[in-house]
Amino acid sequence: MKQKDVKYLIIGALILIIFIISQGLQEKEVERIIFIKGVSFVSPRHQIFPSHLEPVKAIGANYVAVIPYAMSNPEKASLIFDHQKQWYGEKVKGTVEIINAARMQGLQIMLKPHVWVRGQGWAGDLRFEKETQWLQWENDYLEYLKTYLKVADSLKVEMFCIGTEMRHFVTERPEFFQEIINVCRKSYSGRLTYAANWDNYNNVKFWDQLDFIGIDAYFPLSENKHPTVKELKTEWKPIQKDLQKLSDKLHKPVVFTEYGYRSVDYSTLGHWNATGEEKINHNLQKDAYQALYQTFCDRPWFAGGFLWKWFPNHAEAGGVLDSKYTPQNKPAEQLIKDWFHKKNAM
């Protein structure tokens, strides 16, 4: 064989090896970031069984957000969790039971601690005036996270959310989130995200240290009573561009840690603008989901999300007289099922 022929054989072999390695890396990347078709599972009052997760599996979901609440008293700057007066599913034992039941249905898990603030509910408004108060509350919060990090690590939970809509902490206490991330990386080997409120994600300075850009996607889209799918998609366009720009900049996928709509008129205006006089409108809930899926689900930088919310007693949840967020037993449920199964085929 001529020296020239040997040279070409070596070059060809190298090209083949590089191709095989690159294909393997691509397959590994696809496997690593699967498209998340998730539901936010409501922590039950009582014991949970695998059968409670069967309807979640039936709609084509592959992920469940498990949400063990902690309760905060802003006046005392305190935080309590795993308390005997909490619901069964909000405590450690119940959280473990939900995770195990979800596993039996082949579902993956995001463990997503939430803080419920006495007197106001939303953790987004929580802040303190004194440094001693900040430090006391932060110490309690770290103990809360450490407790559930142990659960996450021992049960091989795929994803852990380090906080939900804590906007004052993000802007005023960035060093605290650095401490949180350090603690999480030392004791947990899964993926990390943070659930930023829709109007606060650009203020988060630690996205580069997490695995996903997490957003609770309650963006106000339209002031109309019942906007069309086309109108809603038009309103989504500038938001989509901004999210893609952030994803491209940080080389991180975006996940909607929460998304959803009430089944009432004006539900795409933002729930905080509700008057309480809105009439039931199941078709708007369905159309709003349709617009969101059509806008985002084929974007390579979008990793899916967790709809808000799903109750364990499926047969009794939602229905034609229900005006709240759950899509259960409403027209939106079938739409979600169709989209989730469509993603399976893609």
Confidence label for 135 from pLDDT (cuts 50, 70 and 90):
very high
Least reliable range by pLDDT among 12-26, 64-78, 119-133, 321-335: 12-26
Does 191 score more than 50 pLDDT?
Answer: yes
Mean pLDDT of 328-346: 90
Say what the pTM is: 0.90
Confidence label for 34 from pLDDT (cuts 50, 70 and 90):
confident
pLDDT at res. 24:
45
Least reliable range by pLDDT among 68-72, 74-78, 103-107, 134-138: 74-78
Mean pLDDT of 76-88: 92
pLDDT at res. 343:
79
Torsion of CA 42, 46, 51, 53, to 10 degrees: 10
Secondary structure string (H, E, C) spanning the chain: CCHHHHHHHHHHHHHHHHHHHHHHHHHHHHHHCCCEEEEEECCCCCCCCHHHHHHHHHCCCCEEEECCEEEEECCCCEEEECCCCCCHHHCHHHHHHHHHHHHHCCCEEEECCEEEECCCECHHHCCCCCHHHHHHHHHHHHHHHHHHHHHHHHCCCCEEEEEECCHHHHHHCHHHHHHHHHHHHHHCCCEEEEEEECCCHHHCCCHHHCCCEEEECCCCCCCCCCCCHHHHHHHHHHHHHHHHHHHHHHCCCEEEEEECCCCECCCCCCHHHCCCCCCECHHHHHHHHHHHHHHHCCCCCEEEEEEEEECCCHHHCCCCCCCCCCCCCCHHHHHHHHHHHHHHHC
Sign of CA dihedral 64, 70, 74, 77: negative
Q: Which domains does the chain have, with CATH numbers?
A: 38-345 (3.20.20.80)
pLDDT digits (tens, 9 = 90+) for 273-316: 999 999 999 999 999 999 999 999 999 999 999 999 999 999 99
